[in-house]
Every structure is written in structure tokens, then in C-alpha cells.
Structure 1
Amino acid sequence: MAKFVVVGAGIVGLAVAHRITQDHPDAQVTVLEKEERVAAHQTGHNSGVIHAGVYYKPGSLKATLCRAGSRSMVEFCAGHGIRHEVCGKLIVATSAEELPRLRALHERALANGLPVRLLTKEEATGYEPHVDCVQALHVASTGIADFGAVCQTLAALAEKAGAEVRFGAKVTGIAVRDNRQIIETTAGDIRADVLVNCAGLHADRVARLAGVEPPARIIPFRGEYYELRPERRDLVRGLIYPVPDPQFPFLGVHLTRMVDGTVHAGPNAVLALAREGYSWGRVNPRDIADFAVYSGLWRLARRHLRYGLTEVRRSLSTRRFAQSLARLVPEVTEGDLVRTEAGVRAQAIAPDGSLVDDFLIVARERQVHVLNAPSPAATSSLEIAKHIVSHLPGFPAAR
């Protein structure tokens, strides 16, 4: 019996475990999670958006897996009674200077085969009456979902098929003995024929424990969120995004109606002082030392110092945050915002200071390491799992 070990009980790790039980029903599958629950970090702190695949380079893994994932995630949610809605979204240009970028997005979306349409200002207000723009792009296939419930369901399905999810099991070492991998954890050791590393914010560290030197380093960026006060939620019907800066993988602060009816505003993107640094007060000296000596981060900082300082100022000022939102919906004011939970994005940065802009999956003999899987990984998770399991190194694909 083949033994599979998946590190990480976020949405990608659980999707992989579930997929293995489907494609290799005779296998033994164990998911190792250092926390006491599923979706404790990136998955449990994201904006809940089912992305359509507008932003990604045609032919890239992100473009291919996101487009397929937006369909399979909706089908999964519908099939398992998970709250979701295909509500569409607007990407709005608020000045004439942004129009070339909006039209470039339109061309990219068409190249990715997506149902999109350029709208006039008047047409845009038909979707979002309070929005202000000179032109907008309507993306019909964007949706929202409860990704926490998706994780609970994936875990339950995997366990029903015979998999085990071990909580409180932090990976501390990986060794090879008698042609088998020994995964050392705080909850005891476990043998594995195949290891799949989906450790998110710690994926590069787990790779090093396995003897793999990652081609990029994970740097944590905190994304801070506000909510609109209940009496102001009527300002937003669905999803309203700005035109993003193509130099960055961050989409800019936006407004998102969640499946529970709340409206989230954000996220920004500031360098976190810990891999799990959900606030300025969360500081981890080891994490700081780890990225402070990384040349790739310094090269990135020199190249984009002004952008970084702008994000820090917005982090420290609710007024600045509100001003960014008011570019999209002018009626939003500082008094409309209530701070809520932040998230941390695991962003891979190459040694030359470039941001890795595609999913980064590295395979070695009987190992797979998912080393860059930020947004749209939640949307794409079922398809990422198919991709990984169908290409497992040293193990035959399912027929």
C-alpha cells in the first residue's frame, strides 16, 4: 500500500488529499497540520472570491487552472450545499490614464476565453449604482464562496475515503531511510512513499527540510481589511475592483460583498514582520532574520520603495484607506469603516527581486513542493490538486 503524506491542511493541501483518495483509492493518505483546525492561515483569511482568471498571462498555470477552477469550485459548492454565488464583478477605471490598462485587461480576458464586456459609466452604474468611473470591465463569471466550508467538506470527504488529518503535527525534519521518507513531526514520525508539501507560508522551509533548495523565498505580505458598517452595505451590490498595477501581483484595495452579506474592503499589501504576522504587533525574530538577509527582498525594496511606503501609510491611516475606496465609491468615508481580521499572503520572491507571478510547483523524486500558491489558489485548488496528483513523481498516474 502506497503511503502519501500531505503537509498543510489549507485548501490546496486538502484538495490534494481528497484527489489522492479518488485517484488512488488503495493508498494510505495522511495530512499533517501544525494548527488545531483546517484553513487556519491563508485560506481562512482571504476575501472569499472565486476568481475568473482575468489577470493572468494566457497559457500560464494560473490562467489555465483558475479558469477551470472557477467552474469546478462552483460545481463543488453547489454539489455539497456550500454557500456561493456567481455574482460577477466590475473592474473600474477612475481616470483616463487608467483606460489603456483596463483595455489591456479586456484583451487578456478575451485571450483567456472569459465572458467579459467593456461598459460605459452609465452601464457600470446599472450594476453598481454608487460606483464612479470613466469605464469599467464586467466579468460575469467571478463569484464568491465560503472557502472555510469548502475546506471542512474536503477534509470530511478525504476522511470518509480513509485519509487521516493529524492536527498539532508540525513538521520538524525529513529524512530518507530504506528508500522511504521519514517525516518527523511534533506528534511523532510518519513514513511516506510520496510527500506533497502544501505548507503555504512555510513551504520553502519544508522544502529545505526535504533537501530541496527552493528557487525563490517566501516573503509574507499582510493584507489588512475593513468592513462597511451594516447601515452602509447598500453602497455595494457585488464586487468592485480598481485597475491593478501590472508590476505587482496585488490587486489593490477593493470592495467585496461576502456570502454572509457583509462587505469587506481591502486588502492592502505591507511587509509582515512574521510569516503569520496578522498585525504590526506580531513579530517573529527568526522570520525577520530569514528575509532580512535575502538579497531578493532588498532588490525588490529598492525597485519599489515608493509603492511600499504608500502601502505602509495606508496601513497606519484609516483615512488614507477610505480615500482609496472613495476613488471607486465616492460615498465611502472613514466613518463607514470598521477594522476586521487581516490575512497574510505567502509571496515567492526570486533572488533577482522579481515577484514570482505564476504558481510554482517543484517536483523531485517522490516529492512535490508547492512553493508559490497565493491568489487565485483557493479558486484553483481542485484543479491544482488534479495537476499535482496526475504528475506525481515516482508514482504511476491513475488510469
Structure 2
Amino acid sequence: MDKYDIIIIGGGIVGLATAYQLSIKKKGLKIAVLEKEDQLALHQTGNNSGVIHSGLYYKPGSLKAKNCVGGYKMLLDFCDQNEIKYELCGKVVVATDEFQLSQLDVLRDRGAKNGLEGILKLNESELKEYEPHVSGIAGLYVPQTGIIDYKEVANKYAELFKKNGGEIHLNAKVENIILKGGERILNTNKGDFKTNVIVNCAGLYSDKVAKMTGQKMNVKIIPFRGEYYELKPEKHHLVKNLIYPVPDPNFPFLGVHFTRMINGGIEAGPNAVLAFEREGYSKTDINVAELLESLTWPGFIKVASKYWKTGFGEMYRSFSKSAFTKALQKLMPELKEEDLMPGGAGVRAQACDKNGGLIDDFLILESEGVVNVCNAPSPAATSSLSIGDVVSDKILDQF
């Protein structure tokens, strides 16, 4: 049986950033990453829109705000040092109705409190200077926002972690965890692994792994699928950089938007619909047991009853290209249904508590010999090095 000082469960960007941070902070530790797939960064990391978030949206003082702002700087420094391509192209947040103007001011204030400089309030004509094809009555220009390929970043973390002596085991799915004195034994389909400390960065299955570690859970991961369209190449001129709506402050999703991608192309979306399995990337992916877990969770029942109109609209857009187009036309009226072609999809691991709260902040739970990262939605990729820094410090405190 292989024995390690630390085992990290999950080979996504947060798990790999934590592994990398540990490998440079404490030489000589024997550290392994266990990933159930045959490649790294396959799920949330490999299916996001590749946006470098600035910290505009997050409540000042929250873990999201602190880690996004700190992680942003760490990420750019890391990319500069390792010749990873990125672009700080900026974005506009567009108000299309009068009632959104006050929320625009809230966002500007949050951005300032989170240390963002150079945010510009735009009137209707100024908005057109940044994005000529957008329709809005006011907006914000945020210069710090950028684009990147997070899968490339994650693989570079992995490369450097291994160079520093770390091990990565692919096709190693954790099926059970046995707590035995000061040791923890992880039963996997690839054999047993023994360790002193477990770090759970299992993303869509983080709540299930946390339960295996003995953590009492008041939250469950509810999977939400986000589906994208792409603009046809002849319509790429409609979008210069990134165009976002003013988000609904009561709902932890940013709404359909336009994103220029680092490797070419323009994404439009996503919507946000309940996925019928935790890794359900298409409408036909259904895992009955996992779906029933979501539908019978008391918190989700409360969320569904509160946001049923919003949820119905998102589901309708999932099955209706014309409805999806109509949502995009709020930002860009000249866009036509035939300008869109099917794009990819991602699944977001959204923690939901028993009382119907969609957990908006990062959630990290600690117990002896265990650190569980139980909620790390966007901007976790932007924040990955900062989260890895925080989690690695928590781990090293246990030695």
C-alpha cells in the first residue's frame, strides 16, 4: 500500500493549484493527487468560458472577493513566468432597463471596495464606443477582466507539481475512506492509498467525498448545466470583447453573455438548468439516483419553489433556440437565430443548504487530518492559486 503525507482528491484546477502550492512551500513531503478520469481538468476546469474575473461582483470581505482579487494577481504573474497566453481585454456590464441602474452602482461600489481601479461608468453613447452593436441605457467598463485557457493553466500546475516530486494517479476513483487512528486509508479502484492528511477538491462530488471523511454535511451539491451557442464566424465582428448583463442579485448566475475566447470564436450563453446527473453535459444525460437526490433535497425544493419562474425560463431556453436568441437580443437586438450554432456545455457544482440557500461564497470545512473544499464555483479558476495558498496553509498547520 502506497503511503503519503498528503493526498489530494480531484485533478481539477483547484486541486492541482493546491498540490503545486504545497510542493513549493514544504519540500520533502510525499504528496499525491488522485483523479478518477483518464486526464486532468476534464470537468469544471475544462468546460468553463475561460474568463479571468476581476472581483467586480463579490461582496467585499467574502472569501470570493479576497481570493479573486489576490488570485487574479497571482495568476497573471504565474502566466507571465510560464509563458501562458492570456489577454486583459476588459468587459462591459450593460444595463438595459431603468431598474438595473441602481444595481450598476452597487457593482461599481463593490469593485472599488475590492481594489479595482479604472472602472468607468458609461452612458448610452459611450457604451457604443466599446461595443458598437450593444443596446443599453448605461454600463460599466471593467479593464481588469481577461480571457485565458484554464486547462492549459491546470496542466502547467500539474507539470510543475510533478517536477517538484509530486505524484499524479489517473483513473483512481476514491470509493471509500477509512479513518484509522492518525492515518486515513483511501480505497480506490486502483488499489489502496494511505495518508496522514486528505484534501478534498472533488468538485461535483465534493459533498460525497466529504461524507466519506466523516464530515457532517448541511449542504448538497446540486449540478446546474450551462449550455452555450457560438456565433458563426461571419458574425464575430458583432462582439469586440466581453459583454455581460447586470446580474440578478438574488441568483448566483451571471445571465447569458458574450465571451470572446482566447483560442478564437465567440461564445454566447450560458443558461442555467438543473442537470439530471452530476456530470450531465447534455439534455439526454440522466442518472436516476443522482436526479432523485437533487429533487428530494429539502434545500432544492425550497429553491425550486422560490425561483420556479426563473427556472422555467432557463429550461425553456434550453429547448428553444428562439427563446435563447431572444434573451441574447436584450443585449444585441440585431442578432438573429441563424447567427448562432451549437456550442459546448459545462456543469457547475452549486452547493445548496437544507434551508434553500444557494451558497454564494467558497466553503472550506476542516477537521483533524482533513480539509474539504465543498463549494468552489466561479471565480475558482481565477482564484485557484489563492485558494491553493489558503488550503495549503490549513494543511501545513496540521503538521
**8 Å contact kept, 2:353–2:359:** yes
Does the CA contact (< 8 Å) of 2:4 and 2:32 recur in 1? no
Unaligned runs of 5+ in 2: none
Match of 1:304 in 2: 307
Change (3 A) 1:394 1:193: farther
Q: Quick check: 1:391 aligned with 2:398?
A: no
Q: For 2:368, give the aligned amino acid.
A: E
What SS is found at the alignment partner of 2:299?
Answer: helix
Query: Equivalent residue for 2:295?
Result: 292
Q: How many residues align?
A: 396
RMSD across aligned positions (CA): 1.2
- State the alpha-carbon separation in 2 of the partners of residues 187 and 343 from structure 1: 28
Deviations 1:197-225 (A, max 9, x none): 00000000001111112221100000000
Q: 1:31-70 alignment to 2 at 5 Å?
A: 31-70=33-72
Deviations 1:228-276 (A, max 9, x none): 0011011111100000000011000000000012100111100000000
In structure 2, the residue matched to 1:183 is 186
Counterpart residue type for residue 157 of structure 2: L
Structure 2 match to 1:324: 327
TM-superposed deviation, 1:393: 6.8
- Partner of residue 29, structure 1: 31
Percent of residue pairs identical: 46
Partners of 2:77 and 2:147 lie apart in 1 by 13
Match of 1:18 in 2: 20
> What secondary structure is seen at the aligned counterpart in 2 of 1:125?
helix
SS at match of 2:175: strand
TM-score, normalised via structure 1 length: 0.97
Residues in 1 aligned to 2:109 and 2:180: alpha-carbon distance in whole angstroms: 52
1:395 to partner: Cα distance: 2.0
- d(CA) in 2 for partners of 1:147, 1:253: 20
Distance, in Å, in 1 between the alignment partners of 2:179 and 2:100 is 54
Aligned with 1:31: secondary structure?
strand
CA contact under 8 A between 1:363 and 1:393: conserved in structure 2?
no
Map of 2:86 onto structure 1: 84
Indicate the residue corresponding to 1:155 in structure 2. 158
Q: Secondary structure at the match of 1:379?
A: coil
Partner of residue 234 from structure 1, selected from 234, 237, 242: 237
Aligned match of 1:109: 111
Alignment equivalent of 2:219, drawn from 203, 212, 216: 216
CA distance in 2: counterparts of 1:43 and 1:184, whole angstroms: 25
The 3-state SS of whatever aligns with 2:6 is strand
| Alpha carbons 1:365, 1:394 under 8 Å: kept | no
In structure 1, what residue type is equivalent to 2:288?
P
Partner SS for 2:100: helix
Q: Which amino acid aligns with 1:56?
A: Y
Q: How far does residue 117 in structure 1 lie from its aligned partner after superposition?
A: 1.5
- Equivalent residue for 1:334, pick from 337, 340, 344: 337
Moved more, 71-80 or 191-200: 71-80
Q: Identify which of 347, 354, 359 aligns with 1:351.
A: 354
| TM-superposed deviation, 1:286 | 1.7
Which letter does structure 2 place at the counterpart of 1:237?
K
Partner of 2:10: 8
Structure 1: gaps (5+ residues): none
Does structure 1 residue 137 correspond to structure 2 residue 140? yes
Aligned counterparts of 1:261 and 1:393: Cα–Cα separation in 2: 41
Kindly indicate whether the alpha-carbon contact (under 8 Å) linking 1:197 and 1:368 is maintained by their aligned counterparts in 2.
yes
Give the drift of 1:394: 5.6
- 1:332 Cα offset (Å): 1.4
Judge conservation of contact 1:175–1:183 (CA < 8 Å) in 2. Answer: yes
TM (normalized to structure 2)?
Answer: 0.97
> Does the alignment pair 1:375 with 2:378?
yes
Q: Which residue of 1 aligns with 2:123?
A: 120
CA displacement at 1:178 relative to structure 2: 4.3
Please say if residues 228 and 336 of structure 1, whose CA atoms lie closer than 8 Å, have aligned partners that are also in contact.
yes
How far is the alpha carbon of 1:279 from its aligned partner? 1.0
1:336-363 Cα shifts (integer Å, max 9, x gaps):
1111110000000010001101000001
1:289 CA displacement = 2.2
